[in-house]
Homo-oligomer: A and B are copies of this chain.
């Protein structure tokens, strides 16, 4: 085992871990003040719950051989990580490090979904949802792409999880927004813009681990992934800022931060396969496409409160398709549309559509069942929604002054 690669995968795991608290602040700043604790806790509890599910059966379902079902899902042979010792090698670094790294992806994916249903979803139901969604949706899709399943066989490229994480979460968000319904009193302004920017900055910082870490080695491709990740995020942030400046005469920080995240999402599947110009194109494309989609969604009847579909669903789909367009053999070994291999785009589209369909149907099914279970249910009561979920679900207020508290 190589100590440099091991060090890099461990650091990358820590960086990706840090993204989920970053997301907590990104989302937490966007809601109303009375829901900030609740919104933050959605992300934080994903860490707590998914960490347990992953080491018990999640990793096993995603990454072991599923026998006859192997095209669709892994098996239980590594339940409780049985048989994986400190010497197990995952290709130059410990398999335990790979488990850590993959765990962090599993944590952030359902946390992303929460943006769709903040300010009205029942917290205890969410905890149960996490267990089922990781088991029934995340682990299988992860197996398809990275665990030896059918999408991998198809030859689809997904360097760091454009379909597994972002398309998957983005579609599940639509399903959740549909079933939980609209907020009674959506706020007009985010309650804490510095939190939004802090969260976006932590996400960007952690995303270097997400994308460059996905090379699973400290080498030139990792450095390339690092650089294109940054380039695409910058391009998308700038694009979004310019559109916003043109349309409103002002360059809102929330818009720029959203643009950055959209760029990070879009470059994710492509990060090990494209160069600087590909990254610029993907970033600018993400800025334009996600902006338009977000505007359309706001006009739709669906209350995807924090624009998970527009940013992660559409951004991830654009990134997956763009990977097929801009990938170049010199970097990741596979040529794309621009280099004459048009077929790759079709494969990419197929992987997006399959993930979309599967994730949508299963998320609907899980939520439908949880809604019917006595004592659970999806939506909080009207008085709880009015007083805010910080008090209703957590018995806490975000901030309290001295004296008149």
Q: Is the CB of A227 within 8 A of B100?
A: yes
Contact of A85 among B47, B80, B220, B245 (CB under 8 A): B220
- Report the count of interface residues on A (CB-CB < 8 A): 117
* A123 vs B250: C-alpha distance when bound (angstroms): 9
A388 at the interface (CB under 8 A from B): yes
Q: Does residue A218 face the partner (Cβ distance < 8 Å to B)?
A: yes
User: Across the interface, do A219 and B1 meet the contact criterion of CB distance under 8 Å?
Assistant: yes
Contact (Cβ within 8 A) B191 A52: no
Q: How far is the CA of A241 from the CA of B245 in the complex (A)?
A: 43
Q: Are A208 and B13 in contact (CB under 8 A)?
A: yes
* A8:B3 contact, CB within 8 angstroms: yes
Q: Is the interface of A mostly helix, strand, loop or mixed?
A: helix
- Enumerate chain B residues within 8 angstroms of A217, measured Cβ to Cβ: 3
**A194→B253 contact, CB < 8 A:** no
- A6 partner, pick from B44, B222, B231, B280, beta carbons under 8 A: B222
Interface string of A177-195 (1 = CB under 8 A from B): 0000000000111111111
Interface window among A20-28, A340-348, A373-381:
A20-28
Q: Is the CB of B80 within 8 A of A276?
A: yes
Distance, CA A190 to CA B402, complexed state (A): 10
Asked whether any CB of chain B lies closer than 8 Å to the CB of A400, the reply is: yes
Cβ of A337 under 8 Å from chain B: no
Chain B proximity of A183: nearest CB distance (Å): 13
* Residues in A201-231 with C-beta less than 8 Å from chain B: 201-202, 204-205, 208-209, 212, 217-224, 226-227, 230-231
Hey, which chain B residues are within 8 Å of A254, CB to CB? 396
Shortest Cβ distance from residue A72 to the other chain B in the assembled complex, whole angstroms: 26
A220 touches B36 (CB 8 A): no
Whole-angstrom distance from the CB of A372 to the nearest CB of chain B? 21
Taking the closest CB of chain B, its distance from the CB of A25, in whole angstroms, is 7
A243 within 8 A of B: no
Assess the A400–B18 pair: CB atoms within 8 A.
no
Contact B191 A401 (CB under 8 A): yes
The answer to whether A251 touches B394, judged by C-beta atoms less than 8 angstroms apart, is yes
| Of the residues B20, B88, B238, contact of A48 by C-beta under 8 Å | B238
A2 and chain B: residue at smallest CB distance: B3
CB neighbours of A325 from chain B (8 A): none
Whether B14 pairs with A209 at a CB distance below 8 angstroms is yes
Chain B, residue nearest A21 (CB): B201
Q: Are the CB atoms of A33 and B402 closer together than 8 Å?
A: yes
Asked if A81 is at the interface (CB within 8 A of a chain B CB), the reply is: yes
* A4, CB-defined interface residue at 8 Å: yes
Known interface pairs A4-B7, A219-B1; A85-B48 also in contact (CB < 8 Å): no
Instruction: Verify B4–A402 contact, CB threshold 8 A.
Output: no
